[in-house]
Chains A and B, each alone.
Chain A
């Protein structure tokens, strides 16, 4: 009797574990660094923020689009020669860093600011800065404030989990002023709080603020103060421990910069294939040495430019004139035109 029961129990345990194993199997990738995991899985997992116009958005048919999304698609082309082998996973600012640490996505493209702490204490590598921003302050005009230093005692709405939370505290401390923080996680909740008068000031990256302002019922009643209280270099973030993956990210970003420097665009890229310029020949893979060295498809940069375009096109489509948001390039301009963007040589 006892033996029979034990046998049955063992059988049940075995069946259960097989069941659990079967359930878990589709999600479990083989062990190894990030890039192997991506290849085994067949898609890149990209962490983005909650959908909204500009950086990452979902169109009516449920397709992701936006500035950072385009870089995710460029990465997908680099590894799979297909812009759609990529999953975009939304993550709140409070959760995105722990989620990247824990391997929920392979790369975070949600407008993370590169900082010392995040590199060392959190264990992240940052790719090249893709967007130079600075934290600004949005106030209603009726407050009568023209300078940030006049905001002593103000109630400030801040998004939690961003560097903004730390910067604003530093800013007021530097100026021996006090403020009352209202820390909210969701940007849309912040907008509601601000328009209902819960807070006097919203602080965020100034680009964010600029289009938040446009979304307010009467944009002309509000101004973004001229000061930038911090530097916010937004860069792709990856976990420590896979240098090759980091290099793929680096050079995919550089490729979009390089193309703009060379004047290669989505439309005219084919006409450059016959170019005699050795830099261009190497870049577009007419001369296949670069791609081979990186163990990538030789024409990878050609395909990226052909599909998503160069940096300038990506910018214009999502943030610039073509997008309706109408942002100026500012620092986010090629160094050849006085900006900060600079691609190392492709050779």
Chain B
């Protein structure tokens, strides 16, 4: 929804915290805090008006709630979440966890949720890569390139996402059948049955594989932290090397636990490897492309927001152009880019709910089926609202954590 960087206004007070957290937190704090001054503030100058407004909102909420429960009772429906343990009875096309029609509604929702998370994460990643590339290309001195990127951005930003998703869905369905599959890379097949990529076959349990990976990551992270006073290239090399080395060693010790599973043509279809369904691919590309346009604009605005004096000063110090960009401009640009990037990620996650229109089994899709087959409208919508709210909050919290880190580096003029 949010289209552009929130305007940075002169005179606006420094934003101390993520808006959501500071908002809710602030209000809660002031709401709960004791102390006569606080309470007087809380009630404000017009306690009557406030009481009236709050009372009216509460009254309406209570009235709607009672009518709702009355209506549900009249229709013979008892709201509640015990249905989650009942058997769902429908199949879901793609899933990260084993699922069949005999499993419960709860598990079906978990499948939908994981699918939402999958598409949101992968789209954010792709959107960032695309957006960074485009944002930089937008500033290219080659007029053809910068103009093309400009046209791309305008087209994407000025057409509805839903329309773009329909387009990608059509495009993906128009890909050749498995027999005539496109193979852009060895082991990768593009067909109207989906995108087939090499998979990893694990003869060890996925859990112990995960443990192995965690050990590696833990080692690398730990070293990264321990060596925080050392120079950056040294630190990166040592920690990654040690983490990777340890993982490789453990892997070798455990025996060749993993192999590569290449997709291959058999009969009418392609078997083996990992499959990404066409619906997923359409949604993934659609969301990523849509968001990449705003990311590109953010990157451009971010780089341009660094005052000219910074470039000149850096050059005057004799820094080569490479370093001017990396050491002076980018760190400052990031501070402008990241808060806005957060809202792009949040809105991407929310927009992934449009998946329902092109048939990707995301959370909303599964919830729709649940509401429809079992009649749990109230429960389905409540779950939908809670899950997306939580996802939005987590995304902004994570990004704010990162933002906080970046912002601390320099002076805090914002």
Q: Which residues of B358-395 have CB atoms within 8 Å of chain A's CB atoms?
A: 358-359, 361, 365, 368-369, 371-375, 377
Residue contact A182 to B279, C-beta cutoff 8 Å: yes
CB <8 Å contact, A6 and B75 = no
Q: Quick one: closest A residue to B271, CB to CB?
A: A153
B77 CB within 8 Å of chain A: yes
Q: Is the CB of B173 within 8 A of A123?
A: no
Q: Please, what's the 1-or-0 string for B48-90, where 1 marks a CB less than 8 Å from any CB in chain A? A: 1100000000000000000000000011110000000000011
Contact of A123 (CB < 8 Å), options: B76, B101, B365:
B76
Report A231-260 residues with CB < 8 Å from chain B CB.
239-241
Min C-beta distance of B114 to chain A, whole Å: 17
B5 interface residue, CB < 8 Å from A?
A: no
**Could you say which of B77, B177, B369 contacts A165, with CB atoms under 8 Å apart?**
B369
Indicate if the CB atoms of B377 and A183 lie closer than 8 Å: no
Contact assessment for B372 and A179 in the assembled complex, using a CB-CB cutoff below 8 Å: no
Does A192 sit within 8 A of B, measured CB to CB? yes
User: Residues of B contacting A95 with CB < 8 Å?
Assistant: 368, 372
Q: Are A192 and B372 in contact (CB under 8 A)?
A: no
* Most chain B CB inside 10 Å of its own CB: which residue of A179, A193, A196: A196
- A184 and B177 contact, CB distance less than 8 A: no
The reply on B339 being an interface residue by CB < 8 A is no
- Residues from chain A with Cβ under 8 Å of B91 in the complex: 165, 168-169, 179, 181
Q: Which residues of B contact A84 (CB under 8 A)?
A: none
Is A117 in contact with B193, judged by CB distance below 8 angstroms? no
State the CA gap A168–B375 with chains docked (Å).
20
Provide the residues of chain B in CB contact with A121, threshold 8 Å.
77, 374-375
Q: Which chain A positions have C-beta within 8 A of B102?
A: 173
Smallest Cβ distance from A128 to chain B, in angstroms?
Answer: 22
Task: Encode contact with B along A179-214: 1 for CB under 8 Å, 0 otherwise.
Answer: 111111100010011001110100000000000000
A169 to B48, CA, bound (A): 60
B372–A97 CB distance below 8 A: yes
Contact present for A183 and B372 (CB under 8 Å) = no
B:321-351 near A, CB below 8 Å: none
With both chains docked as a complex, state the minimum distance between the C-beta of A177 and any C-beta of chain B, in angstroms: 12
A166-B89, A181-B92 given; A197·B375 CB < 8 A? no
- The listed residue (B46, B278, B356, B375) touching A185 by CB distance below 8 A is B356
Q: Which B residues touch A9, using CB under 8 A? A: 49
B368 touches A181 (CB 8 A): no
A122 with B89: CB separation less than 8 A: no
Whether B375 lies near A97 (C-beta < 8 A) is yes
On whether the beta carbons of A189 and B377 are closer than 8 Å, the reply is no
B7 in the interface, Cβ–Cβ < 8 Å?
no
Chain B: interface residue total (CB-CB under 8 A)? 39
User: Smallest CB–CB gap between A159 and chain B, Å?
Assistant: 10
Does any Cβ of A come within 8 Å of B174's Cβ? yes
Chain B 85-119 interface residues, beta-carbon cutoff 8 Å to A: 89-93, 100-102
Known contacts A123-B77, A160-B368, A165-B369; A184/B174 CB under 8 A: no
Please name all residues of chain B whose beta carbon is closer than 8 Å to the beta carbon of A98 when the two chains form the complex. Answer: 371-372, 375, 377
Instruction: Tell me if B369 and A155 are in contact (CB < 8 A).
Output: no
Which of A181, A183, A185 has the largest number of chain B CB atoms within 10 A? A183
A147-162, CB < 8 A from B: 155, 160-161
Is there a chain B Cβ closer than 8 Å to A120's Cβ?
yes
The answer to whether the Cβ of A93 comes within 8 Å of any Cβ in the partner chain is yes
Contacts of B365 in A (CB 8 A): 160, 183
- What distance in Å separates the Cβ of A160 from its nearest Cβ neighbour in chain B? 6
> A301-327 interface mask toward B, CB cutoff 8 Å, 1 = contact, 0 = none?
000000000000000000000000000
**Does A90 reach chain B (CB closer than 8 Å)?**
no
- Top 6 closest pairs, chain A to chain B, by CB: A169-B101, A123-B75, A122-B375, A184-B359, A196-B173, A181-B91
Other A-B contacts than A6-B48, A121-B77, 18 sampled, CB-CB below 8 A, are: A5-B46, A6-B49, A93-B372, A97-B375, A98-B375, A102-B377, A122-B375, A161-B368, A168-B91, A169-B91, A179-B91, A180-B93, A181-B93, A182-B359, A198-B173, A198-B278, A200-B268, A241-B74
| 10 pairs, A vs B, C-beta closer than 8 Å | A98-B375, A117-B375, A123-B76, A160-B372, A161-B372, A165-B90, A166-B90, A170-B89, A197-B192, A240-B74
- What residues of chain B have their CB less than 8 Å away from a CB belonging to chain A? 46, 48-49, 74-77, 89-93, 100-102, 170, 173-174, 177, 192-193, 268, 277-279, 356-359, 361, 365, 368-369, 371-375, 377
A contacts, CB < 8 Å to B:
2, 5-6, 9, 93-95, 97-98, 101-102, 117-118, 120-123, 143, 155, 160-161, 165-166, 168-170, 173, 179-185, 189, 192-193, 196-198, 200, 239-241
